[in-house]
Amino acid sequence: MKGTKVPQKISIIKPDDWHLHLREGDILKKVLKYSAKNFSRALIMPNLKKPILTYVQAEKYRREILKYLPKGSKFNPLMTLYLTEKTNPKDIKSLKVNELISAIKYYPSGATTNSTYGVKNFEKVMPVMEQMAKFNIPLCIHGELPGENYDIFDREKIFIEKVLDKIRSRLPDLKITLEHITTSEAINYVKSTKKNLGATITVHHLMINRNHIFDRGIRPHYFCLPIAKRKSHQKDLIQTATSGDRRFFLGTDSAPHLSSKKESDCGCAGIFSTPYAVPFLAEIFDKKNKLPNLEKFVSLNGARHYNVKVNVERLNLIKKNEPVRLKNWIRAENDKIVFFGSEFKLYWTTEREKNAKKISREN
């Protein structure tokens, strides 16, 4: 019929989220199903109130996550340990043997939520990182250097110059993920390297820039760390994510917090983006005419970086003729958790279904 648009439908390998905060207790219970719906695996961050420092703690936390999974879900939480200046280099070898731990997370002390146990001086963790390079355990880095003298918008750039570049030149064999990059400088730095450095990009940093945080008032639900930068950086991030470049892949950094903790005189950092993360990515890639690269960004590049098999499950994406009605929040701990994205138009939805049209699987 003339003028009637047929909804577009594509099928991709089910995505991975290479950076996720699930929390514990009631919040975990409420948010987990959204990851299980659109992702096969996720790399689970260890910055709980009591951080995950040991193998035994990680094992227990993983069991708690599995307990809350929806029936029949094959979602696989990949665990991380929190690096501190007290982490014992001698413990690294055994981590490789038992395979529960997929990566170790480097938080510069004071850089973000629950980071006080993190690293103040990277020299102190060099022996641990040497062992990680030797036993092939990846390091995930929150790449910001906090400090009174550093402008919050420059912290990523400064971390790369003062810390990351030094670590890499001394340990070229250490596999590193520079997490949630937000600047053109970070993009260029990653692009200037040939091996062992990849970067995750979040959905929210593709969708907002720093103006959104102050749009007609202060927007606590757009506050995250690293903080969103100016629009030119956002444009570079979109160009990079949609390019298909193997070094860049999805890590949502979805970080649920109770509303009362965000809407406060000292609101905490974190954006809960999981529920619409994949549909919004379809929207972004579609707008740039780059849908054939979506699967690389969400399902292939990360698996390659972490040297794991790509997922077997698939996910369908459907483009509707009308914008999708977005849910705003869910209840947790007698409070609520606000979803990212309800102010944006979204035409894409996801569904688990067979027989969808395949798009490029070029690897």
Least distance in Å: CB of 215 to Zn ion? Answer: 24
**Binding letters toward ligand DOR, positions 54-93, x by CB under 6 A:** ----------------------------------------
Residues of this chain, 8-27, that bind ligand DOR according to CB under 6 A: 21
Whichever of 92 and 140 has its CB closer to ligand DOR, that residue is 140
Helices (H) and strands (E) in the chain, counts: 14, 13
CA-CA distance, 190 to 305, in Å (whole number)? 13
Whichever of 112 and 350 has its CB closer to ligand DOR, that residue is 112
Among 36, 160, 225, 346, binds ligand DOR (CB under 6 A): 225
Whichever of 11 and 254 has its CB closer to Zn ion, that residue is 254
Least distance in Å: CB of 288 to ligand DOR? Answer: 25
Whichever of 185 and 253 has its CB closer to Zn ion, that residue is 253
Does position 46 bind ligand DOR by CB under 6 A? Answer: no
CA-CA distance, 19 to 80, in Å (whole number)? 10
Please answer whether residues 306 and 138 qualify as being in contact, where contact means their C-beta atoms are separated by less than 8 angstroms: yes
Among 16, 17, 253, 286, binds Zn ion (CB under 5 A): 253
**Binding letters toward ligand DOR, positions 137-156, x by CB under 6 A:** -----x--------------
Task: Residue 156: name its binding partner from Zn ion, ligand DOR, none (Cβ under 5 to 8 Å by kind).
Answer: none
Does position 228 bind ligand DOR by CB under 6 A? Answer: no
Count residues near ligand DOR (CB under 6 A): 11
Candidates 91, 96, 221, 197; CA nearest to 143 is 197
Segment lying near Zn ion (by CB under 5 A), choices 59-67, 249-257, 271-279, 297-305: 249-257
CA-CA distance, 121 to 61, in Å (whole number)? 28
Least distance in Å: CB of 115 to ligand DOR? Answer: 8
Does position 269 bind ligand DOR by CB under 6 A? Answer: yes
Does position 185 bind Zn ion by CB under 5 A? Answer: no
Please answer whether residues 285 and 48 qualify as being in contact, where contact means their C-beta atoms are separated by less than 8 angstroms: no
Does position 144 bind Zn ion by CB under 5 A? Answer: no
Phi-psi region of 127 (alpha: psi -120 to 50; beta: other; left: phi over 0): alpha
Task: Residue 269: name its binding partner from Zn ion, ligand DOR, none (Cβ under 5 to 8 Å by kind).
Answer: ligand DOR
Task: Residue 87: name its binding partner from ligand DOR, Zn ion, none (Cβ under 5 to 8 Å by kind).
Answer: none
Least distance in Å: CB of 257 to ligand DOR? Answer: 6
Residues of this chain, 104-133, that bind ligand DOR according to CB under 6 A: 112-113
Long-range CB pairs of 287-295 (<8 Å, 24+ gap) are: 288/238, 288/242, 290/242, 290/243, 290/244, 291/10, 291/359, 292/244, 292/359, 292/360, 293/242, 293/243, 293/244, 293/360, 294/12, 294/359, 295/12, 295/13, 295/359, 295/360, 295/361
Number of alpha carbons in the 13 Å side-chain half-sphere of residue 98:
12
Does position 295 bind Zn ion by CB under 5 A? Answer: no
Does position 17 bind Zn ion by CB under 5 A? Answer: no
Count residues near Zn ion (CB under 5 A): 1
- Reported as type and span, the H/E element at residue 197 is strand 197-201
Find the helix packing angle between 25-38 and 55-67, rounded to 10°. 70
Q: Can you tell me whether residue 198 is helix, strand or coil?
A: strand
- Say which of 17, 236, 245, 253 is annotated catalytic: 253
Least distance in Å: CB of 86 to Zn ion? Answer: 22
| Cis-peptide, bond into residue 226, ω within 30° of zero | yes
Residue 253 designated active-site = yes
- Hunting for tokens 């690389």 — which residue is that? 296
**b/e sequence 301-337, b meaning 16+ C-beta within 10 Å:** bbbebbeeebbeebbbbbbeeeebebeeebebeeeeb
Residues with active-site annotation? 253
Using CB under 6 A, list all residues that contact ligand DOR: 21, 47, 112-113, 142, 224-225, 253, 255, 269-270
